[in-house]
Structure 1
């Protein structure tokens, strides 16, 4: 096939990755969006109508992953389809590895992006705005936005070039542990946020009691697998009784 035709189809497939979640449905989740993104590349790879229809059927089943991984997965799938068209990769093998790859990256995306980086961006932006650093908050948002686009382009390109072999490089990135490190930073940002919104002057005894209460609550949730609402309500009740306890102990600053 002409190289320019394939290049244009690949670029169009990448751009359509931004619309993967536009037709979300309860049956196939993001499957319609995935097929929509794959169609230009599949049409350029499989010129035989029968093989093209077979290729499309491989992607109409259930699909759901974090949207930030959509370009990477589309790139990997298009690379695999090129090998299927060349007879170097059996189509049946794709079904076995596609779902496993999709759900693994989905879990990593939920932990690193949704559970760590997005929270970091929200907390840091709130803290910067409360501290009066409006320009810094805007600059941080632009950096995150541009960084996300670079991430999508890079992972799409690497997935397109390496196929499933790119997953070995992703494994070396150690994203899960990076997500844990970012959560520690989020805890520090949350403390900074409280310090900014807390009425002045700050009573260190109240801060100490609050930190101990949160630590104990988190430990109870983790160790006994309690629903988070139960210890949260208990902690809120104890905090409501805090003025009475303070007064009975001699009047700590409140």
Structure 2
């Protein structure tokens, strides 16, 4: 039986607790089974024994980035719905682990989270209330992370066995590179603004000009701007303390 919309909603909500039972032996396996249960119960509604076997099968060792775990949830549910055998499901689960982990780490941890943090830091330095800056970070960051989960579940269910090809066609790697490059620019701007504040110059011409120059450095030489920004901040702090 095909899962209904509310089954997908329940699976998506349960995916937020996928790491709640993490352990060294099965990692996120129990969490995956918990998230898959609403879909599996609908697929195997006429066979309770098959449902129990499916839950046990998906409780085994599994690990992936939590934000992209819904891709695996949707794809595995689709294979269950298509009647895939246990060996096929086991191999499929194993094949998903590394790609979803690496892709999620790049898009979420190396791209989206630093970008949102840098943007919130700039807003704070420019005068936004600290609580509003923190709230804006949480709102924007979690909106992106929620969108990634929803997209992942839909992509997994629609693609099924061909989910690897769907992930290759998806623009996630391009988004990751764009976010990393943009974050380098923001780090440069943040460094210049903080240096100006520490020096007590506020909106002086050289401070704003320095922000533009460092932003251009971040765009033209993204591999080196982080080191330049950190060195500049440390130097400014030392001068300010002395």
TM-score, structure 1 normalization: 0.71
The answer to whether the Cα contact below 8 Å between 1:123 and 1:190 also exists between their aligned partners in 2 is yes
- Cα 1:28–1:67, aligned 2, differ >3 Å: closer, same or farther? same
Query: What is the CA-CA distance between 1:75 and the residue it aligns to?
Result: 1.0
| Corresponding residue of 1:31 | 29
For the pair shown, the structure with the greater C-alpha radius of gyration is 1
| Corresponding residue of 1:91 | 86
Aligned pair partner of 2:172 in 167, 170, 175: 175
What CA RMSD, in Å, does the superposition of the two structures yield over aligned residues? 3.6
Which structure 1 segments of 5+ residues have no match? 219-231, 244-253
Deviation track 1:10-41 (CA, whole Å, cap 9, x = no partner) reads 33222211111122222211111111111222
For residues 40 and 182 of structure 1, the distance between their equivalents in structure 2, rounded to whole angstroms, comes to 35
Which structure 2 segments of 5+ residues have no match? none
Query: What is the CA-CA distance between 1:82 and the residue it aligns to?
Result: 0.3
For residues 26 and 139 of structure 2, the distance between their equivalents in structure 1, rounded to whole angstroms, comes to 33
For residues 138 and 7 of structure 2, the distance between their equivalents in structure 1, rounded to whole angstroms, comes to 31
The answer to whether the Cα contact below 8 Å between 2:36 and 2:77 also exists between their aligned partners in 1 is yes
Query: What is the CA-CA distance between 1:140 and the residue it aligns to?
Result: 6.0
Deviation track 1:206-238 (CA, whole Å, cap 9, x = no partner) reads x99xx99x94997xxxxxxxxxxxxx9xx89xx
Which secondary structure state, in structure 1, belongs to the residue aligned with residue 153 of structure 2? helix
Give runs of aligned pairs for residues 186-197 of structure 1, distance below 5 A. 186-197=183-194
Which secondary structure state, in structure 2, belongs to the residue aligned with residue 113 of structure 1? helix
Aligned pair partner of 1:122 in 113, 117, 126: 117
| Corresponding residue of 1:248 | none
For residues 6 and 192 of structure 2, the distance between their equivalents in structure 1, rounded to whole angstroms, comes to 52
Matched, 1:18 2:16: yes
| Corresponding residue of 1:67 | 66
TM-score, structure 2 normalization: 0.74
- Cα 1:160–1:215, aligned 2, differ >3 Å: closer, same or farther? closer
Give runs of aligned pairs for residues 204-215 of structure 1, distance below 5 A. 215=224
Give runs of aligned pairs for residues 91-240 of structure 1, distance below 5 A. 91-134=86-129, 138-139=135-136, 141-198=138-195, 199-200=198-199, 215=224
Query: What is the CA-CA distance between 1:45 and the residue it aligns to?
Result: 1.4
For residues 62 and 126 of structure 2, the distance between their equivalents in structure 1, rounded to whole angstroms, comes to 43
Which secondary structure state, in structure 1, belongs to the residue aligned with residue 68 of structure 2? helix
